[in-house]
Structure 1
Amino acid sequence: MQQFFADPSWIRDGKVYLRGSDVNHIKNVLRMRTGEDVRVSDGSGSVYLCCISAYEEGAAVLDILKELDSEAELPSQITLFQGLPKGDKMDWIVQKAVELGVYSIVPFSAKRSIVKLDEKKARKRQERWQAIAKGAAEQSGRSRIPEVQPVKSFAEALDAASGLDLVMIPYELEEGMERTVQVIENIMPGQSIGIFIGPEGGFEEEEVEQAKSTGAEPVSLGKRILRTETAGLTTLSILMYHLESRNHNL
């Protein structure tokens, strides 16, 4: 079933007045007719089963049939701190991270980042990534749209992570999986978690030491060196499995 996000102000008197580009998508791309059902989320956790009742000028009018239980969100808020990669890799990373349940994404520039963005380009990229996050959230049935924050420096990203319960930094020079297993096993649902992923070429040792000085936990993801677009999604997948299985058993 198709899902869309609506501003809370569009929801009133048992109806949703869906606006913006989604109206054209429903009416002219999906060619949905009155009487068809869709899911609508207000972006803050409430999800509704709705029926299309009419198309008005600039709006699709939906009748709310009932509120649905939403279990699509992870029991912990995970922030992916992603070193800027080359080309359009970030598009793919944002899309898949949202599908895996990430709470927010913070792009940052590291010493080995090849991509250098000025303020104007960084703002346009952020807008693009936020739009990708919205589409991925709709596709995967999320009840909220993860925020893609403005591009930061590495120091700013570390500062943004300072209030989290746990910060992990996968590092190819970290040996042994014992510590990784221990760190993950100690994570409980409800904790806030940060994952720092370096760009192509990884982190410089100085950056890892800087992260460690703020309390970040270096971990290993195994004996193989993963690409930047793989490492974060691998870590997210591991945490998703751990948190949802742990939450199920509580």
Structure 2
Amino acid sequence: MQLFYHENIEGQSVSFGAEESRHLTKVLRKKIGDLIQVTDGKGQLATCILEEISSRGARLQIKEKTLSPKDDFEIHLIIAPTKSPDRMEWMIEKATEIGFHKLTLIESENSERHRIKTDRLEKKMISACKQSLKFHFPEISPFASFEEMLNTSQSFDGQKFIAYVDEQNDQHLFGLAQPHGKYWILIGPEGDFSKKEIDEALALGFEPVSLGKSRLRTETAGLAAVHILNLVQEKA
């Protein structure tokens, strides 16, 4: 299956612009009458027939819609962006392929980057969802400070984890996470969370976790956490 994205598939037809039309006809060699699969990123999958192609775009008639069920678990990745935007984009792309549900970028005391444009991250997510055939796209929350994130966490009713480097921190995420639950996982910057931030998180119910024996880069830690929480779903 080759999956396409359109934010609105509620009507009887879908229109693509020139860029998506070129991909259909020049790259995939699609012709009038061919079946095209389109998702809205909110769980709906539309089976469409390619009806019209022009230099300005393409029009597809929707023949059938199905609704994909949501996962019975939810991963909220909360991470300080890396100094290199490319490394963060790589992580988001791969984490999306593996599967997670929400992203919050935070600014902590040791952050290397204090702002990041999310439009490129959204494009990476969409591309990765199309590649990995996902019909529910991850959500990107507004950039937040560490304190704002902690305040929001107080209303969360799932498991809350904070991963940081400490020889005493030997409880692995895989062993602590319960299957089919809701998770917040905090990943710090290259300089890690400060002691003050760790203490504040622990005081609000975050559990300290290890991601393994190796010291990981921020983007590697984020990807590892998402992968581990997906593996946890196989425990039950």
Q: What letter matches 1:204 in structure 2?
A: S
CA distance in 1, matches of 2:147, 2:169: 27
CA contact (8 A) 2:92 2:124 kept: yes
Moved more, 170-179 or 141-150: 170-179
CA contact (8 A) 2:171 2:209 kept: no
CA contact (8 A) 2:80 2:111 kept: yes
Q: CA deviation at 1:176?
A: 5.7
CA distance in 1, matches of 2:100, 2:76: 6
Task: Please report the RMSD computed on the Cα atoms of aligned residues, expressed in angstroms.
Answer: 2.5
Residue of structure 2 equivalent to 1:16: 14
Q: What letter matches 1:168 in structure 2?
A: F
Higher helix share: 1
CA distance in 2, matches of 1:216, 1:207: 11
Residue of structure 2 equivalent to 1:229: 219
Number of aligned positions between the proteins: 234
Residue of structure 2 equivalent to 1:83: 80
Q: CA deviation at 1:91?
A: 0.7
Residue of structure 2 equivalent to 1:2: 2
Q: 1:195 to 1:20 in 2, by over 3 A?
A: farther
CA contact (8 A) 2:95 2:227 kept: no
CA distance in 1, matches of 2:161, 2:56: 45
CA contact (8 A) 1:176 1:222 kept: no
CA contact (8 A) 1:133 1:148 kept: no
Q: 1:91 to 1:210 in 2, by over 3 A?
A: same
Q: CA deviation at 1:42?
A: 2.1
The answer for unaligned runs of 5 or more in structure 2 is none
Which string of whole-angstrom CA distances, capped at 9 and with x for unpartnered residues, describes residues 75-113 of structure 1?
A: 212111111111121111111121121111111111111
The answer for unaligned runs of 5 or more in structure 1 is none
CA distance in 2, matches of 1:96, 1:135: 11
2:35 paired with 1:37: yes
CA distance in 1, matches of 2:68, 2:94: 20
2:160 paired with 1:135: no
Which string of whole-angstrom CA distances, capped at 9 and with x for unpartnered residues, describes residues 14-50 of structure 1?
A: x333457433432444442223333211222121333
2:147 paired with 1:147: no
Which string of whole-angstrom CA distances, capped at 9 and with x for unpartnered residues, describes residues 161-210 of structure 1?
A: 333311111121153645645422xx242x32111101112111111111
- Describe the SS at the equivalent of 1:12: coil
CA distance in 1, matches of 2:164, 2:155: 22
- Describe the SS at the equivalent of 2:88: helix
TM-score, normalised to structure 1, is 0.82
Residue of structure 1 equivalent to 2:52: 54
Q: What letter matches 1:213 in structure 2?
A: A
CA contact (8 A) 1:35 1:51 kept: yes
- Describe the SS at the equivalent of 1:240: helix
Q: 1:183 aligns with which of 171, 176, 181?
A: 176
- Describe the SS at the equivalent of 2:192: coil
Q: 1:161 to 1:94 in 2, by over 3 A?
A: farther
Q: CA deviation at 1:217?
A: 0.9
Q: 1:241 aligns with which of 228, 231, 234?
A: 231
Q: What letter matches 2:51 in structure 1?
A: S
CA distance in 2, matches of 1:161, 1:57: 49
CA distance in 1, matches of 2:186, 2:56: 42
